[in-house]
Structure 1
């Protein structure tokens, strides 16, 4: 502090406003620079500086670690700890409970109302999910949020692979309900009371904002309810059950299964307008039936091995397959009856006695007169596998007819010579 051009009067001890530690410079001496021994500040308000560590030190979280982690945080052991759950899809699990052993007045710590501490420093409820099949691999937050009134908040990110009872009776227009059951593995309802923090409508609304429908399933809603389960004489446990309702998007199954099966059935019905020449109709029906069988193999991988009810889709496929099979049998029967009606009895008997010998010229003439409209089932099979055999058969028939005609002309030419002799 620099004072220039000032004159100071020395105060005697005992005078008003005198300070024994504050002395004036010499009287009647002009001072150019004077550094007083003390300064007096008046009407200056002090600002207190606080940190979260002050709250942690006040709560003695490090020194009382065993007391805060080994047992439930209650003053009276008969007081239950109320644990609130809140679940959103995709799965965010929020857990709330009250710790009676820690609290502070925000006014004493510059208005701090909550602090974040590591999970290892406080007791946590042992919640399990009954339907889970694999260990949760999602990384959760390593910290807990503690409020000034002792309320503790724990947020977890869950990636669940759980079991679900599937009912595919109406596949692919089915709706499934999957449960997530939360409960404590050790504490009964007298020690921990599980309650849902949000009702069904609020959970559904929040889940719709987070979850975007994609893939084969469409999210519908979430319902929440609480049940009590008793295990023999060990006590009663609280359980909070979240039922997630999802609906299958049927477009893919309609395009890949239902429509192709209808197409195959239409092709099979259209084959009745095909002529029976050369066995083309029979070969076409067999091809359609084989294609239907391949589709059934693909569809078989979609259904569970042991469904609770017979799927309507399976009934639909079996009925269509049965119609196509009956159509094939009807075609085989018609071909057989038409061949039997067009072939003379003697020719059939001769062919049966000669086995695989070549057909007679009389039978070939009859076949040609009928326009070759009917062939045997043996020729049909050969046509479906080896088409060139039909050409050989026609060539054989032509050669036979030519030889028969030549022999007849020769006999007519020789007969007059015999009469002249």
Structure 2
């Protein structure tokens, strides 16, 4: 019995000496043999890699390449631009590195929410549609992380429409990382034009990317320079307006006595009023620097109005003089005797003389007005061309730039 107890005690001692050797074998494994995010049973380490990597005293540098894939809608009435972008973000996170000799894989993919990634918002965006709800980041054995994000967005753009329809505007998209500070994170931005379609009214002439200085929040900006091809607007707006003005000038060649002239002028004016009402709805408006085309069409409306009023006034005066001459030659009362030696004025000769004097005066006035009107129309065309070439307009500053931050609001 004593022998059995002694053997059992020795067996327990042997089991007790083998356990530490197994634990010691696992403790001395290489530190970078396997990255911490491969182990799902280490919640503390996973929580640490979701935080921004520490780069010492310098901020973490994130390289951003913005590829503009498409600009498919430019709405100048709503001051919006719809575009499709692809963001390629890359940075270094040494916590994710591993020893390639122990874990022989050059690259792994992980869900974006399992790692730290910069949370981006677009300041000018009305809405943003991320094409992939759960994108995956690629991590290599040195700890370099690359994340690709595809998005479609509609953003606000302050179009410079003074020279519409030959306008050119710069639309800015400002990307902010609100969850970090400028001491923690810094962007290095690049932009690439990958638009393959050119059949559009507004075309992208240039793309630039920059990092604004002195920002409390990490930020980078992408600027799209959009230029209007203007063909649609020229055909739909300028050509009809010039055609109506030319038709009005040609209408001045009709005789003043012709009743068709007044109807012709009134019809042109009414037609242009209908055209002008639709034109006002089709052109954008602004708090400052409205398109010069709006003032040009208002001038055309005034010219047509003056031409029509001239025709109506001269025609009315000529008709009144004719009626006055007829009333002054009413026949004498039946009770009065006419002197045979003085037959009185001839009812045919006197109205003809009076009518001739009024007609010659009206025709001379109409001819003078026609010459002045044609000269005014030509001068207006050259003046508008000069304003179009040389006029510039500086828009009013934005409220955020006009008043410094923290300034007293205006009551």
Coarse TM-score class (shorter-chain normalised): 0.5 to 0.7
Query: Per-residue deviation at 1:68?
Result: 3.5
Alignment partner, residue 324 of structure 1: 304
Whole-angstrom distance in 2 between the partners of 1:84 and 1:322:
58
1:193 aligns with 2:186: yes
2:254 alignment partner, one of 271, 274, 290: 274
Q: Which runs of 4+ in 1 moved over 4 A?
A: 55-59, 75-79
- Length-normalised TM-score, structure 2: 0.64
Whole-angstrom distance in 2 between the partners of 1:348 and 1:96:
100
RMSD of aligned Cα (Å): 3.1
1:243 aligns with 2:236: no
1:60 aligns with 2:38: yes
**Is the CA contact 1:82–1:195 (under 8 Å) kept in the aligned structure 2?**
yes
1:105 aligns with 2:90: no
1:228 alignment partner, one of 196, 200, 213: 213
Alignment partner, residue 379 of structure 2: none
TM-aligned CA distance change 1:345 to 1:75, over 3 Å: closer
SS class of match (1:160): strand
Whole-angstrom distance in 1 between the partners of 2:163 and 2:42:
59
Q: Which runs of 5+ in 1 are unaligned?
A: 1-54, 231-235, 351-361, 375-421
1:349-364 matched pairs, under 5 angstroms: none
1:179 aligns with 2:179: no
Structure that is richer in strand per residue: 2
Deviation digits for residues 174-223 of structure 1, max 9, x if unmatched? 00110011121121111111121x3xxxx3xx41x434223220110111
- Length-normalised TM-score, structure 1: 0.62
Larger RCO (alpha carbons 8 Å, 6+ apart):
2
TM-aligned CA distance change 1:217 to 1:330, over 3 Å: same
1:204-219 matched pairs, under 5 angstroms: 206-207=192-193, 209-219=194-204
Whole-angstrom distance in 1 between the partners of 2:267 and 2:36:
85
**Is the CA contact 1:168–1:307 (under 8 Å) kept in the aligned structure 2?**
no
TM-aligned CA distance change 1:166 to 1:73, over 3 Å: closer
Query: Per-residue deviation at 1:299?
Result: 1.6
**Is the CA contact 1:75–1:101 (under 8 Å) kept in the aligned structure 2?**
no
1:154-165 matched pairs, under 5 angstroms: 154-165=147-158
Alignment partner, residue 75 of structure 2: none
Task: Find the structure with the greater CA-based Rg.
Answer: 1
Whole-angstrom distance in 1 between the partners of 2:329 and 2:170:
69
Query: Per-residue deviation at 1:56?
Result: 7.2
Aligned residues: 292
Alignment partner, residue 18 of structure 1: none
Query: Per-residue deviation at 1:138?
Result: 2.7
Deviation digits for residues 81-135 of structure 1, max 9, x if unmatched? 221211111211111122121112334444x321112223211111211111113
Alignment partner, residue 66 of structure 2: 87
